[in-house]
């Protein structure tokens, strides 16, 4: 998976600063349907199978398949390993993948044909996880982010510089200007830079579900749900440039500047609501076909953004013309205020088509096909028209395929496997498609069952530190282990 990043396009709106980007639209639109261990181990292909709490986030008709009441609880352990330029970072997180209750109401005198049962469910599925951290580095780069800030500042009075970046660079003596407000930087033409960015992300999207459905003659299952999604996302990024001289060795060098640090903090919280409807039919005994339609999720989100910058000059080079005029070698500055904004985001409509075949009582093969057009994500305010145009120009319709299988070794023990291909949401050369591989097992005894599932995915992500800089690649490996404890009654 590759992504070209330039993190924050900031807009001045109604006297307040906002930090929404097209990345926000994609981040909160992508979902991973793997709440329970059984669902995850089968690639999330549960649109036609039902009878699993994860299926309610895929096709709510799955609730009608239940023939008894059930409670499930799924703790999850996730490890994300990132690597770049030989540096590797691991981040572990413990989460709750699922907790849910299904109540099945079967009439005492159910007819042979007609409605066989009514079911109701309430619970929680985690549909996205943002936890990870890592480094990306570009060694001996001939360019500097200071060049970009200087170009952005030219012709601007220091009092009017962008307060979260260029203003901080000016206040820490990384930018200076002549009488015509042409900005200069404390570097020489032959200086080279080691550039490094540290990324620390945390957060999730959790979906609270209220669902209901009914079973008609064991041939037609209909269900609907309301999903309330809880969003929490926090990102801390630290960008560092270390300056070297002509001979490639660290200090002393041609410039008095040793290094500078730029930190960004972003936090997004809020909630959204969606509606889903689905159906499953059994044209023949062992075949199930499903269809589900998801409305957009309508989010109301709060965002907070602030920055920090520091500069370090060589103390014994105070006679150099680029040395700070106050005579101090170290300077730091926080942004004068915190940018806070509230905005509405509408994610795309989804359609999911599913099929499952039961091979006697021994095996299951299940397939889900999902269509979603990420170019239809939209910020719901006229002030975001330009950003919405960027979304429609950058993203495209995506096709996701999930395949799963289950083998019942004996009445109490099952083996499972799964595969998923998640399509590329980007137009052009950027490729954010990826594959997942999964497996697991299940054990049941009387009214208790236990499922264990493992999922792996690997993808590359491309970063640009600032417009015009080199592309650097971070490799990501994601491992998830889930355990579901369930009780039927």
- DSSP element (H, E) containing 316: none
What distance in Å separates the CA atoms of residue 70 and residue 392, rounded to the nearest whole number?
43
What distance in Å separates the CA atoms of residue 46 and residue 219, rounded to the nearest whole number?
17
Summarised one tens digit per residue, pLDDT across range 248-298 is 455 445 688 999 999 999 999 999 999 999 999 999 999 999 999 999 999
158 part of a folded domain: no
pLDDT for the residue numbered 14: 28
Q: CB 339: neighbour CB atoms within 10 A?
A: 19
Question: Which of 23, 25, 14, 13 minimizes the C-alpha distance to 345?
Answer: 25
Mean pLDDT in residue range 366-388: 93
Q: Judge contact between 10 and 485, C-beta under 8 A.
A: no
- DSSP element (H, E) containing 479: strand 471-488
Per DSSP, the three-state class of 287 is strand
Alpha carbon 295 to chain centroid distance? 20
What is the number of domains present in the chain?
1
What distance in Å separates the CA atoms of residue 63 and residue 65, rounded to the nearest whole number?
5
* Cα-based angle 126, 130, 132 (whole degrees, multiple of 5): 135
> Helices H, strands E: what count in the chain?
5, 23
What distance in Å separates the CA atoms of residue 240 and residue 264, rounded to the nearest whole number?
12
pLDDT at 106 over 50: yes
pLDDT classification of 247: cutoffs 50, 70, 90: low
170 part of a folded domain: no
Alpha carbon 390 to chain centroid distance? 19
Question: Which of 436, 443, 441 minimizes the C-alpha distance to 452?
Answer: 441
Mean pLDDT in residue range 150-170: 95
Tell me the β-bridge partners of 8.
none
Tell me the β-bridge partners of 113.
none
pLDDT for the residue numbered 19: 63
Question: Which of 367, 400, 422 minimizes the C-alpha distance to 47?
Answer: 367
Percent of the chain whose pLDDT exceeds 70: 94
Percent of the chain whose pLDDT exceeds 90: 75
Q: Judge contact between 419 and 403, C-beta under 8 A.
A: yes
State the residue for tokens 């919280």: 269
pLDDT at 244 over 90: no
pLDDT for the residue numbered 264: 96
Per DSSP, the three-state class of 101 is strand
69 part of a folded domain: yes
Q: Judge contact between 471 and 63, C-beta under 8 A.
A: no
Q: Which is more confidently placed, 256 or 154?
A: 154
249 part of a folded domain: yes
Q: Which is more confidently placed, 415 or 461?
A: 415
Summarised one tens digit per residue, pLDDT across range 258-271 is 999 999 999 999 99
pLDDT at 3 over 60: no
pLDDT for the residue numbered 200: 95
What distance in Å separates the CA atoms of residue 241 and residue 191, rounded to the nearest whole number?
12
Q: Which is more confidently placed, 165 or 112?
A: 165
Write down the mean pLDDT value for the chain. 90
Range name among 36-50, 199-213, 454-468 with the lowest pLDDT average: 454-468
Per DSSP, the three-state class of 415 is strand
What distance in Å separates the CA atoms of residue 165 and residue 176, rounded to the nearest whole number?
14
Question: Which of 138, 242, 151 minimizes the C-alpha distance to 463?
Answer: 138
314 part of a folded domain: yes
164 part of a folded domain: no
408 part of a folded domain: yes
pLDDT at 333 over 60: yes
393 part of a folded domain: yes
What distance in Å separates the CA atoms of residue 434 and residue 142, rounded to the nearest whole number?
33
Domain extent, residue 191, equals 11-144+187-488
Pairing verdict, β 413-422 and 397-410: antiparallel
Q: CB 128: neighbour CB atoms within 10 A?
A: 18
CATH number at residue 258: 2.40.160.60
State the residue for tokens 């594959």: 435
Mean pLDDT in residue range 145-154: 95
Mean pLDDT in residue range 65-82: 95
Summarised one tens digit per residue, pLDDT across range 57-69 is 999 999 999 999 9
The answer for 468, left when phi > 0, alpha when psi is -120 to 50, beta otherwise, is: left
pLDDT at 87 over 60: yes
Range name among 102-106, 220-224, 467-471 with the lowest pLDDT average: 467-471
Respond yes or no on whether the N-terminal peptide bond of residue 252 is cis (omega within 30° of 0).
Answer: yes
């Amino acid at each position: 998976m590759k992504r070209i990043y330039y993190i924050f396009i900031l807009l001045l709106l109604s006297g307040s600063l906002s930090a929404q980007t097209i990345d926000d639209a994609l981040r909160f639109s992508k979902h991973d349907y793997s709440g329970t261990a059984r669902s995850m181990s089968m690639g999330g292909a549960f649109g036609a199978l039902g009878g699993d709490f994860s299926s309610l986030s895929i096709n709510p008709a799955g609730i009608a398949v239940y023939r008894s009441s059930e409670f499930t609880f799924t703790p999850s352990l996730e490890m994300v390993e990132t690597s770049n330029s030989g540096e590797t970072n691991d981040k572990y997180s413990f989460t709750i993948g699922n907790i849910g209750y299904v109540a099945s109401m079967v009439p005492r005198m159910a007819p042979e044909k007609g409605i066989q049962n009514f079911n109701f469910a309430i619970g929680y599925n985690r549909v996205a996880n943002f936890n990870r951290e890592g480094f990306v580095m570009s060694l001996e780069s001939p360019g500097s982010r200071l060049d970009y800030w200087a170009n952005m500042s030219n012709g601007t009075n220091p009092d009017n510089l962008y307060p979260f970046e260029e203003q901080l660079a000016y206040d820490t003596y990384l930018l200076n200007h002549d009488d015509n407000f042409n900005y200069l930087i404390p570097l020489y033409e032959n200086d080279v830079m080691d550039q490094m960015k540290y990324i620390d992300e945390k957060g999730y999207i959790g979906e609270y579900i209220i669902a209901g459905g009914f079973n008609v003659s064991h041939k037609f299952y209909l269900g609907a749900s309301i999903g309330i999604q809880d969003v929490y996302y926090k990102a801390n990024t630290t960008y560092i440039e270390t300056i070297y001289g002509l001979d490639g060795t660290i200090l002393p060098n041609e410039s008095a500047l040793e290094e500078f640090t730029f930190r960004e903090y972003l936090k997004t919280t809020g909630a959204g609501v969606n509606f889903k409807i689905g159906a499953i039919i059994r044209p023949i005994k062992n075949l199930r076909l499903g269809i589900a339609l998801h409305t957009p999720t309508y989010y109301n989100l709060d965002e907070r953004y602030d920055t920090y910058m520091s500069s370090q000059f060589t103390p014994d080079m105070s006679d150099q013309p680029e040395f700070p005029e106050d005579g101090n070698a170290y300077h730091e500055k926080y942004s004068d205020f915190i940018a806070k904004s509230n905005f509405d985001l509408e994610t795309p409509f989804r359609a999911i088509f599913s099929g499952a075949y039961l091979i006697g009582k021994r095996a299951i093969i299940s397939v889900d096909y999902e269509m979603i057009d990420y170019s239809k994500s939209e910020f719901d305010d006229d002030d975001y028209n330009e950003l919405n145009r960027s979304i429609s120009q950058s993203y495209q319709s995506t096709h996701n395929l999930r395949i799963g299988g289950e083998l019942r070794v004996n009445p109490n023990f099952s083996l499972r496997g799964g595969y998923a291909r998640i399509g590329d949401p980007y137009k052009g050369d950027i490729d954010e498609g990826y594959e997942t591989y999964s497996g697991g097992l299940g054990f049941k005894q009387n009214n208790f069952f236990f499922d264990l599932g493992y999922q792996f995915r690997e993808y590359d992500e491309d970063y640009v530190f600032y417009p015009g800089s080199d592309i650097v690649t971070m490799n990501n490996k994601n491992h998830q282990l889930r355990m579901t404890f369930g009780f039927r009654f």
